[in-house]
Structure 1
Amino acid sequence: MAPATLFPGVAVVTGAGGVGIGAHVAVALAAEGCSRIAITDLRGDLLEQTVQKIKATKPGVEVFSESGDITNADFVSSFMKKVVERFGRIDYGVNCAGILGKDERSDEMDLASFDAVNNVNYRGCWLSSRAELQAMLKQEPLPGASPSRPAQRGAIVNIASQLGIVGRPQAPAYCASKSAVIGMTRADAIDYSKDDIRINCVCPGVIKTAMTTGTEEVTERLAPAVRIAPMQRMGLPEEVADAVLFLCSPKASFVQGHAMVVDGGYTIN
């Protein structure tokens, strides 16, 4: 007998404020039947926007939200512990927080700029994933989606980038930080397979969010990448959310350590 939902467990989404990828992932999880969702973001006002969108999409969903800095190890640990205290477990961890940084070659970049990009994109992702893993290892697996599917103790999806796979001028810190996320994902996938935890990542192209369209300067900076991609448009955050939900779901039960590219063809051109 098929389960009532592909997502009967508890989801955690970091970087979930506003109208970015994380917010769309949280809303999509609610729409697809996940009834217990925890979200965090640096800005409390943007986080509240996501809470309202989740409740409007699926009344009755239980949402726990707390604003904080995912580069701060103490905050990340505290937040994840509160999630477990409230919901009992963490089944799906989706780590979405990220920043672009300025267009600079390495000789032009100061240490503060380098650290800012890597602290959010790599360190923050690692801290979040580590805390999710620590919770998942202590819980019993959820039953499989069908008798033919194995049980899953947890699933983690990290958000990397097309620029974790290919390079771009004047983006050494960003490219390196996203390559690090892919490398971390693959290494963790090897380590935690024996624990029935799947770990994958999504590598978006240029996606239409506040980060990519917030200023005319940023939009112009990204325009060449949009033109290079065969589909010649920005992706939608909903399209990235669909990929994330697939990787979290039991439909991806044999997908492990994968870097799924959602880029309109940018990396093949």
Structure 2
Amino acid sequence: MASFARQLLGVAVVTGAGGTGIGAAVAKGFVRSGCTKIAITDINSKTLTQTKEAILTINPSAKVLDKPGDIADENFVNTFHDEVFRKFSRLDYAVNCAGVLGSKTVKAVDMPTDDFDRLNDINYKGSWLSCRAQLRNMLQQEALPKQRKQRGSIVNIASQLGIVARPGAAAYCASKAAIINMTRANAIDYSDEGIRVNCVCPGVIETPMTTSSPEMAEALKPAINIAPMKRMGSPNEVADAVLFLCSSQASFIQGHALVVDGGYTIN
């Protein structure tokens, strides 16, 4: 993983940071890049603890706030971010990785409303609630020295399917498209405040979400074969893009949807 040392020395928060997926890779990437204060959350307390242990293996002196909870719960989101700000006195980087893919492909007519609500509560509403809480905190602080007037940086995780569509995924595609345009709108609203808001659109990434069942693996094969690189990406490859967007090296990048998909969307 590329090093962004001296660029990521503030306080970071990562949602959806449990396990071995993108969020965990981002959290560990922050610490490898010099960040010594980090807050992480995930709905799964066991995998969240695993991420915390991995962070402390990288840097035993890192200060880690870990709190399990449901990212779709407004009260939890607000309480968690308030605790982050009280503990660390600021918030410089925020990455929203919590998301679900759905257990199977399903067309709109066949999708129960409860499944639709669950998917959007996590993918879109959870990102929206998190962004709102993060922006509130960032507006209370001044820019760090040597950060090119950057008061804060938020990166949301969308998807290649927020840009293009595929069969049997209408609700998922819509939830990720919503994240992209939410990102753009927040970027417009808070540029004058010195806050950058961008998103990353991963392709098929090798995570527990994409390898959870034979049915899911079979459903993803066409997407892998369409992409010119013809392979799954790794969480670390997405994390590298996220860390770049957080850093001052991306100081003139605002409201961008960075595609990390092995070329899927160019076909």
The count of residues paired between Structure 1 and Structure 2 equals 263
Contact kept in structure 1, 2:5 and 2:33, CA below 8 Å:
no
**Aligned-pair Cα RMSD in Å:** 1.0
Residue of structure 2 equivalent to 1:13: 14
Tell me the secondary structure at the aligned position of residue 182 of structure 2: helix
Matched AA of 1:76: V
Residue identity (%): 59
> How many angstroms does 1:166 deviate by?
0.1
The Cα offsets for residues 106-135 of structure 1, whole Å up to 9 and x where unpaired, read as 111110011111110000000001100000
Distance across 1 between alignment mates of 2:125 and 2:166: 21
> Any stretches of 5+ residues in structure 1 without a counterpart?
none
Q: TM-score, normalised by structure 2?
A: 0.97
Contact kept in structure 2, 1:21 and 1:237, CA below 8 Å:
yes
Tell me the secondary structure at the aligned position of residue 209 of structure 2: helix
Matched AA of 1:137: L
Residue of structure 2 equivalent to 1:115: 117
Distance across 2 between alignment mates of 1:267 and 1:157: 20
Q: Give the counterpart of 1:186 among 184, 187, 194.
A: 184
Moved over 6 A (4+): none
The Cα offsets for residues 154-206 of structure 1, whole Å up to 9 and x where unpaired, read as 00000000000001101000000000000000000000000000000000000
What aligned pairs does 1:13-52 form with structure 2 within 5 A after superposition?
13-52=14-53
Matched AA of 1:106: A
What aligned pairs does 1:225-240 form with structure 2 within 5 A after superposition?
225-240=223-238
> How many angstroms does 1:144 deviate by?
2.6
Distance across 2 between alignment mates of 1:263 and 1:157: 17
Contact kept in structure 2, 1:105 and 1:172, CA below 8 Å:
yes
The Cα offsets for residues 8-41 of structure 1, whole Å up to 9 and x where unpaired, read as 1100000000001000000000001000000000
> How many angstroms does 1:46 deviate by?
0.6
Distance across 2 between alignment mates of 1:5 and 1:142: 12
Contact kept in structure 2, 1:199 and 1:256, CA below 8 Å:
yes
Distance across 1 between alignment mates of 2:62 and 2:7: 15
Residue of structure 1 equivalent to 2:150: 152
Q: Give the counterpart of 1:265 among 250, 259, 263.
A: 263
Distance across 1 between alignment mates of 2:5 and 2:239: 20
> How many angstroms does 1:217 deviate by?
1.3
Q: TM-score, normalised by structure 1?
A: 0.96
Residue of structure 2 equivalent to 1:252: 250
Distance across 2 between alignment mates of 1:178 and 1:99: 11
> Any stretches of 5+ residues in structure 2 without a counterpart?
none
